[in-house]
């Protein structure tokens, strides 16, 4: 039995899709089982569980051999994933594939990298077999730019001309599915990137072509971006962590390109052009349009 956490989210839902095509028994852990009504029809067992309520995790992990561990960026992320690792240990789980992040490191100046580094370390010390997936920035993050693109055709960041090898969440999920179903991926740390590193001006050009309107990337000072994110209702700890991440990108950390996705899945990773065309053809496209109001 393979347990998938984060199953309602961007990467976890794609992991479920990849696993369902492989005819393996799957269980999805959901905080709110009502969100999983569509999963039952695909013979996926849905179980209630919450990382912040460890008492729910033991039952969810009964009979589970392998698990995909993903939690949202949350102020309690280390506690959440640690609770899961402790429960997995109690319940005899043999292998956890952990969704981490590029440049995860306990010594990182960036909060999210540091937290993922701490959780990786905890998992490695647990005695459970592990695989760490370290994706670069997801292409799906363009969804966060939708409100300002809809309003003014602009999106705002503070990374200058930095290049980033954005990766499609669906490719990250494909790697996770292989690691959960095939041997040989234990004790591996996989850095997952797209095939090329591009600037955000190039991202804007790709979005312009896909959406058929002129989209621009506007580089702004970090303090302006911080204020805009606070005004949009984001929590201050989260905004500060995001700015630390942007600072890593501005310093070139996201430029790395690896061949790992192709090596593991035997498929060429999705290009930003392909991702943008899929997005423009999807139901989500309307939220990038000022006709969506």
Binding residues (CB under 6 A) for ligand NAP: these are 5-12, 31-32, 35, 50-52, 70-74, 80, 99, 101, 112, 135, 137-138, 141
Report the residue number, 40 or 152, with the smaller CB distance to ligand NAP: 40
Report the residue number, 33 or 220, with the smaller CB distance to ligand NAP: 33
In 3-state terms, what secondary structure has residue 58?
helix
Report the residue number, 214 or 237, with the smaller CB distance to ligand NAP: 237
CB of 71 to ligand NAP, least distance (A): 5
Q: Indicate the residue whose CB is closest to ligand NAP.
A: 9
CB of 291 to ligand NAP, least distance (A): 26
Residue appearing with tokens 């969440």: 169
Report the residue number, 50 or 202, with the smaller CB distance to ligand NAP: 50
Long-range contacts of 195-198 (CB under 8 A, 24+ apart): 195/165, 195/257, 195/268, 195/269, 195/271, 196/165, 196/257, 196/271, 197/163, 197/164, 197/165, 197/254, 197/255, 197/256, 197/257, 198/163, 198/164, 198/165, 198/166, 198/272
Report the residue number, 102 or 128, with the smaller CB distance to ligand NAP: 102
d(CA 245, CA 138) in angstroms, rounded, equals 13
CB of 157 to ligand NAP, least distance (A): 13
CB of 84 to ligand NAP, least distance (A): 8
CA 277, 280, 283, 284 dihedral sign is positive
Q: At what angle do helices 222-231 and 236-250 cross, to 10 degrees?
A: 150
Tokens of 176: 């996770």
Q: For the chain, what is the radius of gyration of the CA atoms?
A: 19
CB of 256 to ligand NAP, least distance (A): 13
């Amino acid at each position: 039995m393979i347990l998938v956490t984060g199953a309602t989210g961007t990467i976890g839902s794609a992991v479920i899709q990849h696993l369902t095509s492989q005819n393996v028994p799957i269980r999805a852990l959901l905080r709110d089982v009502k969100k999983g009504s569509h999963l039952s029809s695909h013979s996926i067992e849905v179980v209630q569980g919450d990382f912040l309520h460890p008492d729910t995790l033991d039952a969810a992990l009964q009979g589970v051999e392998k698990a995909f561990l993903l939690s949202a960026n949350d102020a309690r992320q280390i506690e959440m994933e640690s609770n899961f690792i402790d429960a997995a240990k109690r319940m005899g789980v043999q292998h956890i594939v952990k969704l981490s992040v590029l440049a995860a490191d306990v010594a990182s100046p960036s909060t999210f990298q540091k937290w993922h580094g701490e959780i990786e370390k905890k998992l490695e010390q647990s005695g459970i077999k592990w695989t760490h997936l370290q994706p670069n920035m997801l292409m799906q993050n363009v969804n966060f730019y939708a409100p300002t693109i809809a309003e003014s055709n602009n999106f705002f960041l503070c990374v200058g001309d930095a290049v980033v090898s954005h990766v499609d969440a669906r490719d990250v999920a494909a790697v996770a599915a292989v690691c959960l179903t095939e041997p040989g991926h234990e004790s591996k740390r996989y850095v997952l990137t797209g095939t090329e590193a591009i600037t955000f001006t190039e991202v804007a050009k790709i979005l312009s072509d896909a959406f058929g309107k002129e989209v621009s990337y506007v580089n702004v000072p970090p303090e302006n971006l911080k204020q805009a994110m606070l005004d949009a209702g984001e929590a201050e700890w989260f905004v500060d962590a995001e700015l630390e991440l942007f600072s890593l990108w501005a310093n070139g950390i996201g430029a790395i390109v690896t061949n790992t996705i192709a090596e593991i899945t035997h498929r060429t990773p999705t290009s930003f052009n392909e991702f943008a065309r899929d997005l423009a053809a999807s139901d989500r496209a309307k939220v990038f349009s000022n006709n969506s109001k």
